[in-house]
Structures are given as C-alpha cells and as structure tokens.
Amino acid sequence: MQVSIVFAAATRLWRQTLDVPAGSTAAQAVADSDFALEFPEYTDQPLTMAIYGERCDPQRVLHEHDRVELCRPLVFDPLESRRRRVAHRAGKHKSGAG
C-alpha cells in the first residue's frame, strides 16, 4: 500500500511516497523512508507524528494513502509567546494613553 511521509523543514518541504506492507505503523514507514539520510540532525530526538494534521502515536497502523507528517520540535512555548504579545500590547496602550 502507498503512504506519504512529509516534513516541513525550515527551508523546504520534503515528501516521500513509499510502498509499505499492510499493517505497517507510522514509525516503521518513517524508518523505511530516507528521512534519516535527509535530516540527520533530527534522528536523535523523537518527533511528533500526525496523520493529516491529527496527532498520532508512532505505533498507529497505517491505511492506504495515509500522509504521515513529521513535526519539528517547538523552539518556543506558544503560551508564553502569547503572554508576551498580550503584555506588549497592554504596554503600548498604557504608554499611548498619557
């Protein structure tokens, strides 16, 4: 059965289509792909996986035409980033009110 592995690197979108045996898991498909050769800097850390945007366990059994998405680690905490933006906007309003 055919599945795709995709990864949005910082500079490009990488995609590979594979023929895998029925019953293959997301982790097996990634291991069978060229991902480790293309992005060795990500092989020492577990990456979050998703199927069509829905987070999944690496042991999830794949179906025909599934797209396994590999997600880069976050470089910042999204909640902290939001707090900083809100604080920054609040500071602008206070300084502009006088």
Give how many domains the chain has, as a whole number: 1
Q: What is the pLDDT of residue 46?
A: 79
User: Domain of 7?
Assistant: 2-96
Q: Look at strands 2-8 and 67-71 and give their pairing.
A: parallel
Say whether pLDDT at 77 is over 70. no
This prediction has a pTM of 0.72
Beta bridge partners of 55: 50
Q: What is the pLDDT of residue 95?
A: 55
State the CATH number of the domain containing residue 56: 3.10.20.30
12-70 residue pLDDT tens: 999 999 999 999 999 999 999 999 999 998 888 778 999 999 999 999 999 999 999 99
Q: What is the pLDDT of residue 73?
A: 74
> DSSP state, 61?
B
Q: What is the pLDDT of residue 75?
A: 65
Nearest to 65 by CA among 51, 79, 55: 51
